[in-house]
Amino acid sequence: MSVSYRNGLRAALLYLLLSLIWLQLSGYLSSSFFDNFADQARWQRISGYAWALFSAVLIFFARARLLRVMGADRWLRHQHKDRERLRQAAAVFDCTREGVLVSDTQGQIVHVNRAFIEITGYQREEVLGHQPSMFKSGHHSADFYKAMFDALQQCGEWSGEIWNRRKSGEIYPQWQTIRAIHDDQGELTHYVAVFSDISAIKDSEHELAHLAHHDPLTDLPNRLLFTDRAEQALASAQIHKRGCALLMIDLDHFKMINDSLGHNLGDQLLKAVAERLGGMFGPGITLARLGGDEFAVLAESCPQLVQAAALAQRIIDGLKEPFELGEQRLLINASIGISLFPSDALSASQLLRNADAALFKAKSAGRNGYALYTEELTAHAQRRVEIAFELRRALEQQELRVYYQPVHDLQSSRLIGVEALVRWQHPQRGLVSPAEFIPIAERTGMIAEIDAWVMQQACRQMCQWQADGVELSFVAVNVSTRLFARSELYQQVAQVLHDTGLDPAYLELEVTESAVMDDPEVALEQMHRLRELGIRLAIDDFGTGYSSLLRLKRLPVQKLKIDQGFVAGLPGDEDDAAISRVIIALAQSMGMQVHAEGIEQAEQARFLLDHGCDLGQGYWFGRPMPAEQLVWGNAPAITKTPEDCC
Ligand code: C2E
Ligand code: MG
Ligand code: MG
């Protein structure tokens, strides 16, 4: 029944009730006080009832009709529905688990719900009248907010992920929907933002991603993540023209531990191995567990195979220390397969396959060792790593020797100086050339120690010769490129001079041209400082680098040594002859001495003398030899070529 009818019925019934009461009362009065009128009164009462009933029906229809005509029925119905809706909305607003924030057109917050308070930690009165910007986390750029407002203006709605700040200061992710609210005239009145806290979802997403990419036992990256990182590293290495190395490590006889001591202890050992391996590497090296007892290492910057081999050796040595697991003390060895980028493979999957093949080789070769994918390289790398290892022992066991090679004045043939050259008296291999071990010593950092030792020996020997009455103008000592770049060189030279008491004027330091030109500004500063000590400076192997003449002029250098590569072709090779002539002329023009090395024949010495070279050194004068074997005296006289032959 419609509201208008319900209201009409209510009014008609009320009228009827009142009429009946009235009729009842009037009947009672008339029957008790006016008996002679009783019949008339009864008749009147009956007609009164009929009238009242008729009027009530009229009232019912009239009122219902009237309300319908006036539209009040709809209005009342709407009002009723609105009230219902409001009641429902209020319940939703308050009970929903999503935070709700209503702001007016000025952006001031006018309503928040209970969930808002729970999520943000703010009380209602702390936020009402404020701008929602008070929750900003600083996580998003201005462009992000601009895009949000643009979407609100254009579509009246925006939804997306946004990071806000709770009252506690914690930043958390929300999934938020903002809607613009307009009135009946289309005027913007409010904005309503509904959001949910999705930090729990994010956390579990993270957890899932972590689980998908990590090994649950050791928490190391698994094969999936490792391959992914390897692909990225290779892409970057390709751009920067860097070499990478992939090492696959397999524990030797791990199955025996599992079978004999149980899987529990096996797992503990794997965890301990992972921890120890993790402690060995710094940034730029990724360690992963590929499965079982198989680990992988990716070295993102590994320019030389010897470095990869050294890394493998370091891993093998590092695992040698026993593992203490509760009461148990376990020893485990590892075999390693190495594959190099770009020489062995260009993709991560291929590198992994090659490293696996190399690992198989290492296992077949007796385990507890490493193998490179390319066999020849394995032998080469192993030798170099061995040398590095043995060199350390050589220093401690004093297996190094200093040999001296005479330097003669070409004009007078007089022996005027010596160059100190290091040798390694290897217990099994005999005398080892510096060309074999100096580059390794440079890479391992041992060169500083070696050079300091040679310098010390040479200065001490020079003092001895002087004491014996041998007249020499200088003893030349080679300084490695690595050491030359370091600031402690000055300190080191000063210390040696102080310890040995040699007059600095008798000490000559030879620095290669490339060492000087690598970083000319640093070299210039270093040379000036060294000159302050009173020593002499020579540029070794001149002609092999890319000297800038302007820079060369500024260097406080007393001597240029023509590289033996140019001397070898003299006098026949026209290019060598031309270069030698140019170097001599250049040195003379800059007031430097010229010294040619590698003179093996009289004609070479003659050519150099003819063109004004000052000093000569080479097998023709004498080979490098121990101090006590040096022969003091003049070399055979070099006769100048007659003028007309030149
Ligand atoms: P370098 O300083 O240019 O030394 C000259 C090299 O030429 C020496 O080789 C010497 O034995 C060799 N040589 C001399 N005369 C002749 C010749 O007539 N024919 C030929 N074919 N070779 C000749 P060595 O002693 O093998 O040294 C090689 C390089 O090792 C040296 O070249 C030097 O750069 C480096 N070196 C040697 N001793 C030391 C040292 O104590 N410290 C450092 N940092 N480097 C050293
Ligand atoms: Mg030299
Ligand atoms: Mg040289």
Which domain CATH number covers 222? 3.30.70.270
The per-residue pLDDT for 208 is: 84
Kindly state whether residues 461 and 565 are assigned to the same domain: yes
Share of the chain above pLDDT 70, in %: 91
The residue whose CA is least distant from atom 17 of ligand 1 is: 598
The confidence score (pLDDT) of residue 385 equals 74
**How far is the centre of ligand 1, averaged over its atoms, from the C-alpha of 568 (Å)?**
15
pLDDT at 643: 58
Q: Which ligand is nearest to the CA of 452?
A: 1
Closest residue to atom 20 of ligand 1, CA basis: 598
DSSP-derived secondary structure letter, 138: S
Note the pLDDT of residue 528: 92
pLDDT tens column, 389-433: 888 889 888 999 999 999 999 999 999 999 999 999 998 889 999
How far away, in angstroms, is 423 Cα from ligand 3 center? Answer: 15
pLDDT at site 38: 59
Q: What is the pLDDT of residue 73?
A: 63
Is the pLDDT at 646 greater than 50, yes or no?
A: no
Residue nearest to atom 44 of ligand 1 (CA): 480
Run of H or E including 598:
none
- Provide the pLDDT confidence category of residue 515 given band limits of 50, 70 and 90: confident
* Final residue in a domain of this structure, among 152, 173, 202: 202
Mean pLDDT of 552-566: 90
In this structure, are strands 559-562 and 536-542 parallel, antiparallel, or unpaired? Answer: parallel
- Integer Cα distance of 248 and 344 in angstroms: 14
Lowest model confidence (mean pLDDT) among 85-89, 313-317, 499-503 = 85-89
Which of 402, 403, 478, 513 to mutate for ligand 1's pocket (most ligand atoms within 8 Å of CB)? 478
pLDDT band at 34 (very low <50, low <70, confident <90, very high): very low
Ligand nearest 480 Cα, by number? 1
Are 265 and 149 in the same domain? no
* 431, β-bridge pairs: 425
Q: Has residue 551 been placed in a domain?
A: yes
- Looking at the structure of the chain, the number of domains it has is 4
Residue that finishes a domain, picked among 373, 398, 427: 373
Sign of CA dihedral 450, 452, 455, 457: negative
Lowest mean pLDDT among 43-57, 160-174, 524-538: 43-57
Cis? peptide before 216, omega within 30° of 0 = no
Mean of the pLDDT values across residues 37-63? 71
**Model confidence band, residue 592 (pLDDT cutoffs 50, 70, 90):** very high
122 Cα–ligand 2 center, Å: 77
Atom nearest to 442 CA in ligand 1: 44
Work out the average pLDDT over 141-149.
92
The number of the ligand 1 atom at minimal distance from the alpha carbon of 441 is 44
pLDDT of the residue at 27: 60
First-to-last C-alpha distance (Å) of the chain: 135
User: What's the pLDDT band for 81 if we cut at 50, 70, 90?
Assistant: confident
Q: Is the pLDDT of residue 133 over 50?
A: yes
Q: Is residue 326 part of a domain?
A: yes
Ligand nearest to the CA of 455: 1
pLDDT of 178 reads 93
Q: How many CB atoms lie within 10 A of CB 194?
A: 21
Q: Whose CA is nearest to atom 3 of ligand 1?
A: 541
| Ligand lying nearest the CA atom of residue 408 | 1
**Ligand 1 atom 28 nearest Cα:** 435
Cα(533) to ligand 2 centroid in Å equals 20
pLDDT band at 33 (very low <50, low <70, confident <90, very high): very low
Q: How confident is the model at residue 244 (pLDDT cuts 50, 70, 90)?
A: very high
Average pLDDT over residues 281-305: 90
pLDDT in tens, 436-454: 888 888 877 788 889 999 9
pLDDT greater than 60 at residue 29: no
For atom 21 of ligand 1, the residue with the nearest CA is 598
Query: How far apart are the CA of 541 and the centre of ligand 3, in A?
Result: 4
> What integer pLDDT is reported at residue 417 of this predicted model?
96
Claim to verify: residue 511 and residue 614 sit in the same structural domain? yes
Lowest-confidence pick of 25-29, 118-122, 553-557, 589-593: 25-29
* Ligand with minimal distance to 483 CA: 1
List the domain range (segments joined by +) for residue 42. Answer: 3-70
Average pLDDT over residues 488-510: 94
Cα(6)–Cα(15) distance, integer angstroms: 14
Tokens linked to 412: 């007078």
Which residues neighbour 446 within 8 Å (Cβ) at sequence distance 6 or greater?
388, 391, 392, 395
- Closest Cα to atom 7, ligand 1: which residue? 598
Tell me how far the alpha carbon of residue 501 lies from the centroid of ligand 2, in angstroms. Answer: 23
Q: Are strands 328-330 and 244-251 parallel, antiparallel or unpaired?
A: unpaired
Given a cut of 90, whether residue 109 has pLDDT beyond it is yes
In a domain, 84, yes or no: no
How many Å lie between the centroid of ligand 2 and the Cα of residue 457?
A: 16
Average pLDDT, the chain: 86
pLDDT classification of 378: cutoffs 50, 70, 90: low
Asked if 458 and 599 sit in the same domain, the reply is yes
Distance (Å) of CA 223 to CA 207, 226, 336? 18, 5, 17
Residues 478 and 610 in one domain: yes
* Amino acid (1-letter code) at residue 432: V
In a domain, 85, yes or no: no
Write down the pTM of the prediction.
0.54
Q: Ligand 1: residues whose CB is within 6 Å? A: 405, 421-422, 433-435, 438, 451, 454, 478-480, 510, 540-541, 564, 597-600, 617-619, 624
pLDDT of residue 373: 85
* Cα separation values, 386 from 51, 356, 401, Å: 129, 24, 20
Nearest ligand to the C-alpha atom of residue 544: 3
Transcribe 244-310 into DSSP letters. Answer: EEEEEEEETTHHHHHHHH-HHHHHHHHHHHHHHHHHH--TTEEEEEEETTEEEEEES---SHHHHHH
Residue 80 falls inside a structural domain? no
Does residue 81 form part of some domain?
A: no
Q: Which CATH number covers residue 619?
A: 3.20.20.450
Hey, CA dihedral for 623, 626, 631, 633, is it positive or negative? positive
Residues 411, 335 share a domain: no
Q: How confident is residue 1, by pLDDT bands cut at 50, 70 and 90?
A: low
* Per-residue confidence (pLDDT) for residue 7, from 0 to 100: 65
Contact between residue 587 and residue 593 where contact means Cβ atoms under 8 Å apart = yes
Q: What 3-state DSSP class applies to 476?
A: strand
pLDDT band with cut points at 50, 70 and 90 for residue 241: confident
* Shortest-distance Cα residue to atom 8 of ligand 1: 421
Among 351, 388, 349, 401, which residue's Cα sits nearest to residue 372? 351
Task: Decide if 102 is inside a domain.
Answer: yes
Report pLDDT digits (tens) over 246-269. Answer: 999 999 888 888 888 888 899 999
Instruction: Report, as an integer, the average pLDDT of 23-44.
Output: 59
With a cut of 80, say whether residue 62 has pLDDT above it. Answer: no
Of 5-14, 182-191, 634-643, highest mean pLDDT: 182-191
Ligand 1 midpoint to CA 474 (Å): 17
Q: Is the pLDDT at 374 greater than 70, yes or no?
A: yes
Is-contact 306 442, C-beta < 8 A? no
Centre of ligand 2 to C-alpha 541, Å, is 7
Distance (Å, rounded) from C-alpha 41 to C-alpha 36?
9
- Burial (CB < 10 A; 0-12, 13-18, 19+), residue 272, is middle
Instruction: From 450, 562, 597, give the residue whose CB has the most ligand 1 atoms within 8 Å, as the site to mutate.
Output: 597
- Residue 595 alpha carbon to ligand 3 centre in Å: 10
Residue nearest to atom 33 of ligand 1 (CA): 478
Helix axes 348-364, 223-240, angle to 10 degrees: 110
Nearest-CA residue for ligand 1 atom 10 is 624
Mutation test of ligand 1: which of 391, 403, 419, 421 has the most ligand atoms closer than 8 Å to its C-beta?
421
Q: Which pLDDT belongs to residue 9? A: 76
Same domain, yes or no: 419 and 288: no
- What ligand has the least distance to the C-alpha of 422? 1
pLDDT range class, residue 227, cuts 50, 70, 90: very high
CA of 95 to the centre of ligand 2 (A): 87
Whether omega before 342 lies within 30 degrees of 0, making that bond cis, reads yes
Q: What is the mean pLDDT of residues 279-286?
A: 89
The CATH number of the domain holding residue 177 is 3.30.450.20
Nearest-CA residue for ligand 1 atom 27 is 434
Residues 156 and 236 in one domain: no
**Which 3 state secondary structure label does DSSP give 334?**
strand
Backbone angles phi, psi at 30, to 5 degrees: -65, -35
DSSP 504: G
167, burial (CB in 10 Å: exposed 0-12, middle 13-18, buried 19+)? middle
Which ligand 1 atom lies nearest to the CA of residue 619? 18
Q: Which atom of ligand 1 is nearest to the CA of 454?
A: 41
Domain end call among 344, 373, 402: 373
One domain for residues 62 and 105: no
Pair 259, 124 in one domain: no
Atom of ligand 1 nearest to the CA of 421: 38
pLDDT of 156 higher than 80: yes
Q: How confident is the model at residue 124 (pLDDT cuts 50, 70, 90)?
A: very high
State the SS3 of 345-388. Answer: CCCHHHHHHHHHHHHHHHHHCCCCCEEECCHHHHHHHHHHHHHH
Q: What is the mean pLDDT of residues 484-501?
A: 90
Estimate to the nearest angstrom the gap between the alpha carbon of 281 and the chain centroid. 13
611-625 tens-digit pLDDT: 999 999 999 999 999
Protein residues placing their CB within 5 Å of the ion ligand 3: 540-541
Q: Are residues 317 and 281 in the same domain?
A: yes
pLDDT at 17: 80
Tell the residue nearest (CA) to atom 22 of ligand 1: 598
**Cα(301)–Cα(244) distance, rounded to whole angstroms?**
5
Asked if the model's pLDDT at residue 8 lies above 50, the reply is yes
379 lies in a domain? no
Q: For residues 480 and 587, state if they share a domain.
A: yes
Higher pLDDT, 321 or 637: 321
Over the stretch 421-430, which tens digit does the pLDDT of each residue have? 999 999 888 9
- Determine which residue's CA is closest to atom 13 belonging to ligand 1: 598
Backbone angles phi, psi at 173, to 5 degrees: -90, 140
Q: Which atom of ligand 1 is nearest to the CA of 620?
A: 18
